[in-house]
Amino acid sequence: MTPVALNAARRTADVTALADGAPLDVLVIGGGITGAGVALDAASRGLSVALVEKHDLAFGTSRWSSKLVHGGLRYLATGNVGIARRSAVERGILMTRNAPHLVRAMPQLVPLLPSMGHAERALVRAGFLAGDVLRKTAGTPSSVLPRSRRISAQRVIEMAATVRRDGLDGGLLAFDGQLIDDARLVIAVARTAAQRGARILTYVAASEATGTSARLTDQRSGESFDVSARAVINATGVWAGEIDPALKLRPSRGTHLVFDAETFGNPTAALTIPIPGEINRFIFAMPEQLGRVYLGLTDEDAPGAIPDVPQPSPDEIGFLLQTVNTALEITLDDSDVIGAYAGLRPLIDTGEGRTADVSRDHAIVDSDSGVISVIGGKLTEYRRMAQDVLDHAVAQRGLTAGACRTHDLPLVGALTNPGSDVALTTDLPESLIARYGAEAGNVVATARCERPTDPVVDGIDVTRAEFEYAITHEGALGVGDILDRRTRIGLVAADRERVVGVAEEFLTRFA
C-alpha cells in the first residue's frame, strides 16, 4: 500500500472540500490520541469523518505522558479490576497487532534497598505476580512480555549502574509496554485514519458545536465556515468544557524531568522507586530514545484556566530529585536536569479526594446541545474508548456502519512479519526502525534531501530524512511540529536550538 501522505497540500484540499462539501457522518473535535482513535474507528467502519485540531496533532496532553502502555497493575491495586483488565487487553492488542513497532517490553526494576521493609517487598512481589496473571488472562504471551522475577544485586547494577549499593539485596523485575514516543502513536493513528479516508485537519479550531454542526476556523488563514455532521464528537481532553460547559473535569498535573542517560549510567531498565510514606506509589527513571532518561511523575491538582503548555513547578522538580536520590549512589540536583515537561490529566471530577486517587476510567456524555463527549481515560485505552464512543454514536444517530474493526487493524508502519520485513534487513539506523517500523525504508527512499541518513546535527540521533518525512508524510506544518511532536528533540532546549535552523530550511524546501 502506498504510504499515506499528510502534508500542506492535502490539508488545503481537505479544508476546501470540507467547506464546500456534503455533510459528514462524524466530526471529531481534538487531535490527541482520543480524537485520532475515534477518527480511525469511524473511518474503518466506512463512515465519512473529519478530525479538526486547533493546533498540531498531539499538541495537548497526549505528548506529555509517561509513554507507557500500562498493563493496569496500578488499577488492580486500587480495586479497579475492570479497568485493570481492559488496560491489559489493550496493551496486548497494541503490542501484538496494532503497533508492535512502536511499543517494546520495558523492564521495570525495583531495587531492594534497606529502606524497603519486608511488608513493602512482599506487596511489590505480590503485585508483580498479579501483573503476570493479568497479562496471561489478557492473552499476551510471555514471549511478548516476560514473566516477573527476582534478580541478584549484580544484575541490578548491570541494568542500572547508579543504584545505591550499600545494603542492596537484589531487585524485583517486571515488564510493561513502553512507547518509543506518545506523539508518534498519535501521528500513526491519525495517518492510518487518513489512509482509510478520514480528513485530518490540523490548525483548525471548532466552536459553537451542536449535535449536528460546528463552526470551524482555519487558524492559518483566519477563515471560518460551518460544517454539518450526523454526529459531533468532542475529544478535546482537558479542554472538553470549552465545547460543553456542563462537563466537569478535574485536571491534575504530572511532571517529568529529562536527563542525559549517561547521568544514570545508561540504564537498560526503568528504575522504579517507592515514594517514601506512600503505599503503591512509585517514581520511574525510564531509558528513552535520543540517549535520554525521563524521570516522573507527580500528581498535583491543577485548578483554574487551562494553559496551552503546562509548566512544571519548582516543588515538583524538587520532589522528583529528592525521591530519586533515596535510591541512588550519586546525588542528582538541578544542574543535572536538561529538560522538564508537564501535562494535565483529563480526570473526571468525582468530588473530593486526592487527584492520585481519582479514577482513570473514561466516560461518554451526551450534552444538551447534542454533542457527544468522550472524557477521562488513558492513552493505553484509546482504541477501546474509540470503539465505545462510536458504538454509542452509531446506535444513537442511526448511522449505517459496520462493526468496529480496529482490534486487528495494523497502524501504518506495523511490522506484520518482523522476521522477513524489508525494513529490518537493510542497513538503516536502528533508531529509524524504532520510530517508523516497516516504513523506515520508505522514509529514506522518498527523501529528496542530500545525505538523508546523516543526523540532522552531530550527536542527535535523528536523520535528515526524518525532518523531510515529517513535512511530506506526517503533516508537520511548522518548526514546532517537527521538533516538538514528530521528533522530541525539543524536550531539551539546548538541542532544540541547535536544529531550529535545519527545520526552517527543510520547511522552506519541502512544505
* Footprint of ligand FAD (CB under 6 A): 29-35, 52-55, 59-62, 64-68, 70, 205-206, 235-239, 242, 254, 297, 343-346, 377-380
CB nearer ligand FAD, residue 3 or residue 254: 254
Least CB distance to ligand FAD at residue 92 (A): 14
Helix (H/G/I), strand (E/B), else coil: 158: helix
Q: Which is nearer to ligand FAD, 249 or 438 (CB)?
A: 249
User: Three cell numbers at 94?
Assistant: 497494541
Q: How far is CA 196 from CA 21, 115, 360, 406, in A?
A: 18, 54, 30, 12
For residue 293, what are the CA distances in angstroms to 160, 258, 482, 490? 12, 6, 21, 15
Cross-strand bridge partners of residue 122: none
Which lies closer to ligand FAD via its Cβ, residue 83 or residue 113? 83
Closest distance of CB 206 from ligand FAD, Å:
4
Angle between helices 81-93 and 118-137 (to 10 degrees): 60
Beta carbon of residue 440, minimum distance to ligand FAD (angstroms, whole number): 25
Report helix angle 33-44 to 382-397, nearest 10: 50
Minimum separation from the CB atom of position 141 to ligand FAD (A): 21
Q: How far is CA 97 from CA 56, 73, 250, 418, 465, in A?
A: 27, 22, 33, 12, 27
Closer residue to ligand FAD in complex, CB, 212/236: 236
Q: How far apart are CA 34 and CA 208, in angstroms?
A: 21
> Which residues are CB-neighbours of 244 under 8 A, at least 6 positions away?
209, 234, 365, 367, 369, 371, 373
Q: Cell numbers at residue 458, please?
A: 552531530
Measured from the CB atom, the residue of 169 and 242 that comes closer to ligand FAD is 242
Query: What backbone torsions phi and psi does residue 381 show, to the nearest 5 degrees?
Result: -100, 15
As measured in angstroms, the least distance from the Cβ of 311 to ligand FAD is: 13
The CB-of-214 to ligand FAD minimum distance in angstroms stands at 8
Please say whether the beta carbons of 11 and 477 come within 8 A. yes
SS3 116: coil
- Report in angstroms how near the CB of residue 197 gets to ligand FAD at its nearest: 20
Query: Which residue, 116 or 233, has its beta carbon nearer to ligand FAD?
Result: 233
Instruction: Pick between residue 259 and residue 510 the one whose CB is nearest to ligand FAD.
Output: 259
Rg, the chain, Cα only: 22
- Is 346 or 490 the residue whose CB approaches ligand FAD more closely? 346
Cis peptide leading into residue 73 (ω within 30°)? no
Residue 424 Cβ, how far from ligand FAD at the closest point, in Å?
27
Least separation in angstroms between residue 94's CB and ligand FAD is 10
Q: Percent helix, strand, coil in the chain (nearest 5)?
A: 40, 20, 40
In the bound state with ligand FAD, the residue whose beta carbon lies nearer, of 235 and 465, is: 235
Question: What span, in angstroms and rounded, lies between the C-alpha atoms of 131 and 41?
Answer: 29
Using Cβ positions, the residue closest to ligand FAD within the complex turns out to be 32
